[in-house]
Structure 1
Amino acid sequence: MSGIRREEAGSILGMTEQSQVYTATRETLVPNKSTHTGAHALSLEWVFGKNSAPPAFSLQDHDQLVVLYAGANVGVIYNHTTRSQHTLQGHCCPISCMCVSEDRRWIASADQGPKSTLMIWDSYSGIPLFDCHPEGGVIAMAFSGDTKHLVTLGGEDVQCVFIWDWTNATDKPLWFTQLNPSHGFQDYIIFNPNDSTQLLSNSKSQLLLYSRANGSLQYFALKVKKCFSDTQTANMAAGSLSQSVFHWKVPQILTATVDGYLVVWDVTEDLGAHESLSEHRSTLIPLQKDPITVLIVIDRCIVTGDTQGHVNFYDEEFLLLTRYTEFNLDAIVSISFSKECAEGYLEDDILEAKPFIFRNFVVSTASSTVVHVNSQKGVPQILLHKESEPIHAVACHPKQPAVAMGDQSGVLKVWDYDNKVIIGSRVFETEEQIQCVTYDSQGLYLAVGFGSGAVHILNPSTLQSDPEECFHYTKDAIHHITFSSDSKYLATADAGKAVTVLRWQTNEGSLPCWAYMGRYHSHYKPIKDLLFGVHLDSTQPRLLSLGMDRRLVEYDLENSDLNKLLILSSERIEQSAVPVGMTWYPPLTAEQFLLVASDQYKMKLFNSTTKMCRKTLLGPTYGSPIKKAVVLPMSEEPETNSYYLAYVTEDKVGLQIMPLDGNPFKSNAVICHPTGVSTFACSYNGRFVFTAGRSDCTVLSWRISLNALEAAAALGGKDMMPFYTLLEGGRGGAFYREMEDFFYYCQIRHLVTDSMEKLQLSTKIPLSEVPFLMRALAYFPTEQEIEDMHNEVKFSTYAETGKYVTDINLEEFIKLYVNHRPALGISSNELVQAFHILGDRDNTGKHVLNKHALLELLQTRGERMTEEEVADCFTTLLCLNVEEEEEEGQGGEQSEHDHYKSDSGNSGYSLVCAIPDEISMKTFTGHILGFPSSAEQ
């Protein structure tokens, strides 16, 4: 695909064929009315917010106002006139820098991360044309004046500069050079607009000038003039430089400093013949008082942006022409001028009369605010509002197209996501760090939880609250907040591992109010989820909390009273896995289930009454486990099922077709926030999913297409075909044939041992054979896991038929196997971790287990083994001959610790010689378990 894109880009200047790029115009990309084809299960529909570091660019400013900026890992072309967006998707990491060509046709975007990517886009069609993968990511880049070349500055420890001929089909740069780290970390680079063979870059303390005039890319460090004062020289060496530009008229370089000065460097010397420039060819000019953050040369003017949000214009003599100081902005990050000239400035000789501003421009700030300025009227227009803090709280209104977002600075905003406008906002003066928000089921209340432990219950329309509806029962941050379905209870879970419950009190003779029922320290590890439900055959609310301590706690709301919160039950639901979230399973069966996701890529269904695990299912395996899941509202789309599950992992958002069965093709996920998802919410009509990032300070709106999800699932095949693909080699592989052989052997073994009559072969095996068959296939379940498997099969049809299932066929066994076995196998890291926790260091520094300590652990911790079971296991693993051991045992006495006897006492076999006194990981995996050498690495 990359080659096709490059060929298309390379023939743009002389193209004859009618390609999409060649025929595209400015109106092609974002039409007046957005159209959604529904080709993907999840399509990015809108980006709320902006990355603070990359600049914003003006793409159009004539009949339509169009700007470009980065949001999370996507580029956003925002048409403010039509209130529409087009997103440039293709990066797997947050976009670190962007640049545009002089004619605003071509866009380059780059990211930083493990799989860094540089991409070039056609801004008219939105088609990606070129991609490459520089090591270490890109920290800065720029197009040449003729747009033929692109320079990238790497973010490696030893930085590299690459110059690419992006219009030709090549993955290698034309020129490159490595920078000496002593010049500081370079974070800015540009071409000379008058001479594309020259470039410059600067760090906070050093300016570098590049030349490729002699066929190779060379750079030279510009040194500070000796006549500067010692203080000025020391400030520059300490890191006071911000940005640099080439002068448009004379061979000079202008460098701005954070002290408000301008350094003018003379570059008249022949760079190809000199290793460095003379020290005396530089001048220091005091330009302004405020620190300069942006420096641009445009139309014979020098433009600066500073930390106070001011924009200043100077002529070539460095005299002030005009200032924009009334914007009320924070520190400016970028200034981008429009390509078009403003009306009234193209008449004869008017440029000589008024050489300053004749283009509109776009300003972006450190707080991600983007402002458009009309140069004639001097009036700023806010295009993007301040979004500079991580967003940890998102909630959707249950009946209206409104989504509430709360950030870490205490700012709450409510957006109309149909019309893309803010319909309400509030800044909490006394509280900061909004951690969670939620609406009640009727949309009557909006509850907000803060990092200080405070809880405010707001009016959703005005976002205001009465003092009586502001509660502060703990100093621990509120992490979860939820209403009961009847809106009579509000529960919170905080960082103190406690749950607090409020009840809507309607006493006679007094006004209704929220009353405190109590705070219960119900977990000893952080609480991962908090959920209200309804009791079976009743409308009485029930409340459950789930913690990292693997406990599912239910609260006795019926018998609780004011200042008296009671616990109904507390169950440990996992052995080794850590639960990460829960939700109610939809009414697809006769039983009511609670769906719990764990960090081992599993989803389990628990009976809501008995808390028995009734089904274990393989969850989505997209790099990280599910963090949170929500069942979407009933679908209105034709030809789709009734229920679907939306979920987020560490960096992805996905959809899952229900009922759950472990079929991997029923799930679909896309990258949403590479730096991590903090939370997500679903719209009331099930058409949108909103995800919030952590450090990227953005919220992404995803349009759901259930028909596309169903179509993708159908490609995985019907019936058992998706499950065969989960077996190594598929149905025609050696592993499947081995599974068949073992299954039939279990049939014969059961019939031979249990009956002396003529064998009647069946297609099923009894449940008692399942553990042996699992172990034969190298999956060694614990006793609890075996019990879960038995219960899963035994009660599978009990609610419908009232009968137990006592046997299982091969297809049912395959589903049981792929759903229960470890999703990613057992890694050597897990064994290393176990030895670090349980073992001690020997004289070489390696962690080892003492033989007697190991035997004691096996018999006293976890699922305790009997003495006979320990002896049988080691005898089998070490291939010991029982009869030989008995004969050797008669020849001498052995200690009680080294001699294990069976219950009958008639036979004993010594393990003292077979098990070393100190067991290393290599000994354990290779000598005892018999793993191949590759597993020992």
Structure 2
Amino acid sequence: MPQDELGQERREEKRSSDLSERREAEKPEKSLVSTSEDILFRKDDRANVYPLTMTWSFGWNSSLPVYYIRDENQRVLLYVCAHTAVIYDVFKNTQHHLQGHANVISCLCVSEDRRWIATADKGPDCLIIIWDSFTGIPVHTIFDSCPEGHGIEAIAITRDAKYLATISDAEIQEVCIWRWTLAVETPACTLKLLKEYGVQNYLTFNPANNKELVSNSKTQAIYYLWCEEGDLLAHSAPRLTEKTFNKLVGKFSQSVFHLNLTQILSATMEGKLVVWDIHRPTSSASASAGFPQIKPCKLVHLQKEGLTVLTTVDRYIVTGDIRGNIKFYDRTLSIVNWYSNFKLSSIRTLSFSKTPAAPPTEKSNYPPDCTLKGDLFIVRNLIIGTSDATVYHLTADGTKLEKLFVEPKDAICAISCHPYQPLIAIGSFCGMIKVWDYEEKKYLFSRVFEKGLGVQSLTYNPEGALLGAGFTEGTVYILDAMSLENQIPEPFKYSRTSVTHISFSHDSQYMATADVYFTVAVYMVVVRNGHRVWEYLARLRSHRKSIRSLLFGVHLDSNEPRLLSLGRDRLLIEYNLLKSCRDNLEILDIHRTDQGNYPTCMVWYPPLTKELFLLICNSGYKVKLFNSTTKMCRKTLLGPVFGSPIEQIQILPVKSTLELQKRYMVFINRDKVGLQILPVDGNPHKTAAIICHPSGVAGMALSYDGCWAFTAGGQDRSVVQWEINLRALDAAVSLGGEDLTPFYGLVAGGREGKFYRELEDYFYYSQLRSQGIDTMETRKVSEHICLSELPFVMRAIGFYPSEEKIDDMFNEVRFSEYVDTGKLIDKINLPDFFKVYLNHRPPFGNTMRGIQESFDILGFTNSKGKKAIRREDFLNLLLTKGEHMTEEEMSDCFATLFGLNPEGWKSEPVASSVKGSEICLEEELPDEITAEIFTTDILGLTISQDFRQDPIGSEV
């Protein structure tokens, strides 16, 4: 072949190959949902780009079912922890989390083939999410599923997974049917239920007919028929009375369609079954007219024990009862077999495997049933969930029961991480303490205390040898950290109520506790007969309101322990341990930390500067730094603003000395866990948070190496492990900008907006005012204003600090360089002033709620039903209470407010004062002053009605 022809052919081949590759690349990527292969646990979920990523959930919401979604060579379960559905592979000890709900999941269901999972929640912005269990992908989300915002009480899915049915949690419940496969946002049909039906809390479809459903409350069962042609939902709900069968029926638990499909069965807590006959309409027209009916035909007394679970599988009707028995009946309700020798607690849920039981072989060991024939009892394997939060797997062939996991059945408020091993101790109100290896996700050992002892608080000592445990009835145990055995002959019982805090000193010589009755107790190590033993030292009711933090520290000059407590009464108290003796706990000093807000927590601030601080958070979303020795407030900064104030805070441990100069802190508020870069400066980009427990966070712990954070959910009975990714947070900060750039976004319009321009005008006008408005002397141009001018500019731009806050601002600026230079600062520039303003102002502006609360406390109810203060009482309060005014100050203020002194209060020396102030006030002020009159008519403020409005963008 000639050379040119050969080259041409090769060029054609290459062009064809390139075109083929380009077409292949341009093909749309194949959808993961379209696969029929289970790839859930093959995916790598470790590559995360978030500062906090959920990696493990300890616990189980035992009020919801556990589903058996994979069998044969796998054993995969589906259950719920708080707002997350967990798919757990038992053999691989691996979890996959279905995250998407912002509220606690209230109900869930799975399709017959276990491919599709539907979850729903209760609360604001409630959702229904349908998930693909093969990939873990949410394939459809239904927003506004309950317009009234209550959420979903019960949910069901058809056998073929085409339709969903839900019952709302509203006062007037609503039944909805959804064609979710069409990705619709509105239900196909709805039906409002009468209140007399009771709260319908269980719902299921007829497995053989997608158009039929049954639900029940404790008092009434309802049959539904869906006429798809007209999208109408007809129902029948006959009410049973004691006269219906001349016997007590009892409260309903669950209802199912009978195997014969012509009847419905309803189980009761009296051990009975109500049998309903279904009278189906002959046409859709009659159904729309309301003719579908069920009628009670029989009451079958199965047993004495209450029935908690009722379901069907293959050719059996299956029940579970409060005694832990599981029984199987045939179509005629004749018993076929039962499991009663396992000694289980009350049955909460039964879930059978997807795969039918295999035919018996020579190696099979199926038990015989209890019929006269004595046939082999062949049934699918099943998962059993009980009321004591235990989950079992029952292998029918050989009747082998395996305990998969045992979780706390009551609230979890106490968690603590070991100081140098990957161990976490979890304590519950049910009296159980469990210790896990959180790296291997392996349960190690546990201890269950006697009834009545609920674990409220847990703390390891610094050496990791001891575990202090405080209980709900006031008992304090000191346990061996590796065996949970008692390390003292008898537990301490010096508190009469719940022990909320436990803390050890750095040398483990002291232990302190705080309880609900505002009392601090101290215990210490003494030597008796050559042995180190713990003894009670003293206790003191040192606070008037709840104690929020109990903290040991170290005296810098002597290395001796120091103990501090912080209460909601706004008091920071330090105790004198060296001078304390038996039954006498000495107080070293008392400081008030706040004026209007109350403190929520405190921690030792890491040594990022030469000056050592205590970091205290308060209910006003502020973070305050106090000098650790003098207790002077040195800085006030805007804290994380994520819907509620910080409730607990901890400094993230470091792995090496190289990391000491860049520190981080982890915090929790009402429902979120967050991470923030230090030093604290009010920059919002330095903080990230995520919902961890929508019903409320009860506690937090950090791993010794700073890689993990743990949150306890209290009533949701779960603990969540979070992986910390510091690089992701650092990246977010760099995207936010440098210097003042992140702060400009905290005011309306940013740097070019109207507010910031006004702030600049006031700032420079203050320079003129301090030099004298009418002076003829040469002006001195400066970038600073005198520190004494700071409060006037603050008030000019709409922030009205108290005198105490003004002193805090002065101290913050005046001592800002004192440690480094030994000099005091008496002036401030615009950038620093802007930061001080942003950090000190109320984060949500002036809210009507705060003003109204003051009038609710100080006022009386007038003839119009509103809280008001009489004029004379109002003036008396201004002159005598709080940071009270003098008569001259009050006259000047009202003169300015009423326009009698246009220059403002003390803006310039005036030749004459306002005389006859009482006459003026009587003319200007009404006899009764309400919150609205005070705010709009007297002060002339614009008020945000809802404190949840964006604080950072709304200005006065």
Give me the TM-score of the superposition, normalised by structure 2.
0.90
Question: 2:232 matched to which residue of 1?
Answer: 217
Is 2:393 the counterpart of 1:382?
no
Shift of 1:758: 2.9
Give deviations 1:350-384, integer Å, cap 9, x for gaps: 99995844311111122322211111121222222
3-state SS, counterpart of residue 722 of structure 1: helix
**CA displacement at 1:232 relative to structure 2:** 4.5
Of 353, 362, 372, 1:338 maps to 353
Distance 2:902 2:661 in 1: 59
Corresponding residue number in structure 2 for 1:602: 622
How far off is 1:431 after superposition? 5.1
Alpha-carbon separation, structure 2, partners of 1:68 and 1:629: 33
Q: Give the C-alpha shift of residue 564 in structure 1.
A: 2.8
Partner of 2:383: 362
Match 2:123 to one of 113, 125, 134:
113
Asked whether the equivalents of residues 154 and 202 of structure 2 are also in contact (C-alpha less than 8 Å), the reply is yes
> How many residue pairs align between the two structures?
897
Q: Does 1:98 align with 2:108?
A: yes
Q: Give 1:772's aligned residue.
A: 792
Could you say what secondary structure the match of 1:458 adopts? strand
SS at match of 2:891: helix
Q: Decide whether aligned partners of structure 1 residues 453 and 282 sit closer, same or farther in structure 2, where only a CA change above 3 A counts.
A: same
Contact 2:608 2:661 in 1 (8 A): no
Summarize the alignment of residues 395-474 of structure 1 with structure 2, pairs less than 5 Å apart. Answer: 395-429=416-450, 432-468=453-489, 470-474=491-495
Moved more, 363-372 or 926-935: 926-935
Aligned to 1:892: none
The answer to which of 787-796 and 459-468 deviates more is 459-468
Going from structure 1 to structure 2, the CA distance change for 1:783 and 1:80 (only over 3 Å counts) comes to same
User: Residue in 2 aligned with 1:147?
Assistant: 161
Asked whether the equivalents of residues 246 and 254 of structure 1 are also in contact (C-alpha less than 8 Å), the reply is yes
Which residue identity does 1:255 align to in structure 2? S
8 Å CA contact retained: 2:279, 2:292: no
Question: 2:320 corresponds to which letter in structure 1?
Answer: G
In the TM superposition, residue 105 of structure 1 has moved relative to its aligned partner by 0.6
Which of residues 188, 209, 229 is equivalent to 1:195? Answer: 209
Distance 2:346 2:154 in 1: 20
Match of 2:815, as an amino acid? F
TM-fit CA distance, 1:545: 0.3
1:224-263 pair list within 5 angstroms: 230=243, 232=245, 235-236=248-249, 240-263=251-274
Could you report, residue by residue, the CA deviation over 1:701-755 in whole angstroms, capped at 9, with x for unpaired residues?
A: 1111111111122222222111000011111111111111111112232344799
CA displacement at 1:626 relative to structure 2: 0.1
**Residue number among 291, 297, 302 corresponding to 2:312 in the alignment:** 297
1:42 aligns with 2:42: no
Q: Distance in 1 between matches of 2:660 and 2:562?
A: 31
Match of 2:578, SS? coil
Answering whether residue 69 of structure 2 is matched by residue 59 of structure 1, we say yes
Aligned counterpart in structure 2 of residue 177 of structure 1, from 191, 203, 213: 191
SS in 2 for 1:741: helix
Match of 1:807 among 807, 810, 827: 827
- For each residue in 1:80-113, what CA deviation from the matched residue of structure 2 results, as whole angstroms up to 9, or x when unmatched? 1100100111111111111001111110000011
Q: Look up the equivalent residue of 2:308 and give its one-letter code.
A: T
1:868–1:903 Cα contact (<8 Å) kept: no
Cα distance change of structure 1 residues 764 and 904 upon mapping to structure 2, 3 Å threshold: closer
Q: Which residue of 2 aligns with 1:517?
A: 537
- Note if contact 1:681-1:690 (Cα within 8 Å) is conserved in structure 2: yes
Q: What per-residue deviation string (whole Å, max 9, x for no partner) do you get for residues 483-542 of structure 1? A: 0011000001112211111111136x4422112221112111111110000112331111
Distance 1:417 1:881, change over 3 A: closer
2:80 maps to a residue whose letter is A
Q: What secondary structure is seen at the aligned counterpart in 2 of 1:927?
A: helix
In 2, Cα distance between equivalents of 1:654 and 1:24: 38
- CA distance in 1: counterparts of 2:361 and 2:271, whole angstroms: 33
Conserved? CA contact 2:478–2:488, under 8 Å = no
| CA spacing shift, 1:365–1:757, aligned 2, 3 Å | same
The answer to which of 188-197 and 396-405 deviates more is 188-197
CA change 1:906–1:101 in 2 (3 A) is: closer
Q: What is the TM-score with the length of structure 1 in the denominator?
A: 0.91
d(CA) in 1 for partners of 2:852, 2:914: 39
In structure 2, relative to structure 1, the CA distance for the partners of 1:824 and 1:262 (3 Å cut) is: same
Distance 1:108 1:250, change over 3 A: closer
Counterpart contact for 1:201–1:207, Cα < 8 Å? yes
C-alpha distance in structure 1 between counterparts of 2:84 and 2:232, whole Å: 32
> Does the CA-based 8 Å contact 2:554-2:562 persist in structure 1?
yes
SS across alignment from 1:793: helix
Q: Structure 2 CA distance, aligned partners of 1:405 and 1:368?
A: 15
Find the partner of 2:222 among 208, 212, 222.
Answer: 208
Change (3 A) 1:497 1:876: same
Considering only aligned residues, what root-mean-square deviation do their CA atoms show, in Å?
A: 2.7
Q: 1:216: how far off? A: 3.1
Cα distance in 1 for residues equivalent to 2:28 and 2:664: 48
Q: CA deviation at 1:641?
A: 6.4
Percentage of matched positions with identical amino acids: 44
Whole-Å separation in 1 of the counterparts to 2:914 and 2:178: 82
- Aligned AA for 2:192? Q
Residue pair 2:892, 2:914 contacting (<8 A) in 1 also: no
Could you tell me which amino acid in structure 2 is paired with residue 92 of structure 1?
A
AA at the equivalent of 1:626: I
Per mean C-alpha deviation after superposition, the further-off stretch among 748-757 and 76-85 is: 748-757
Query: What is the Cα deviation at residue 276 of structure 1?
Result: 4.8
- Native 8 Å contact 1:224 1:279 kept in 2: no
Structure 2 match to 1:88: 98
Structure 1 residue 434: Cα displacement? 1.2
Q: Following the alignment from structure 1 to structure 2, what is the Cα–Cα distance between the partners of residues 47 and 835?
A: 46
Larger mean Cα displacement after TM superposition, 468-477 or 760-769: 468-477
Amino acid of the structure 1 residue aligned with 2:243: D
Matches within 5 A, 1:557-596: 557-596=577-616
Q: Distance in 2 between matches of 1:207 and 1:467?
A: 56
**CA-CA distance at 1:559 after TM superposition:** 2.1
Q: How does 1:300-319 map to 2 (within 5 A)?
A: 300-319=315-334
Deviations 1:289-339 (A, max 9, x none): 321111111111111111111111112222222211233222212111111
Tell me by how many angstroms 1:456 deviates: 0.8
Helix, strand or coil at the partner of 1:731: helix
- How far off is 1:846 after superposition? 2.5
Instruction: Indicate which of 18, 37, 52 corresponds to 2:30.
Output: 18
> Could you tell me how far 1:920 is from its partner in structure 2?
2.5
Question: In the TM superposition, what whole-angstrom CA distance separates every residue of 1:234-269 from its partner, at most 9, and x where no partner exists?
Answer: 633xx5222221223342222222222222222254
Task: Name the counterpart of 2:723.
Answer: 703
CA 1:438–1:905: 2 relative to 1, 3 Å = same
Q: For the residues of structure 2 that align with 1:782 and 1:278, how far apart are their CA atoms?
A: 70
CA contact (8 A) 1:408 1:432 kept: yes
Q: Tell me the distance in 2 between the aligned counterparts of 1:71 and 1:429.
A: 26
User: Are the counterparts in 1 of residues 348 and 386 from structure 2 also a CA contact under 8 Å?
Assistant: yes
After TM superposition, give the deviation of residue 917 of structure 1 in Å: 2.9
Distance in 2 between residues matched to 1:193 and 1:638, nearest whole Å = 63
2:105 alignment partner AA: I
**What residue identity is the alignment partner of 2:40?**
L
Counting only pairs closer than 5 Å after superposition, residues 600-679 of structure 1 correspond to structure 2 as 600-635=620-655, 642-679=662-699
Separation in 2 of the partners of 1:905 and 1:709? 57
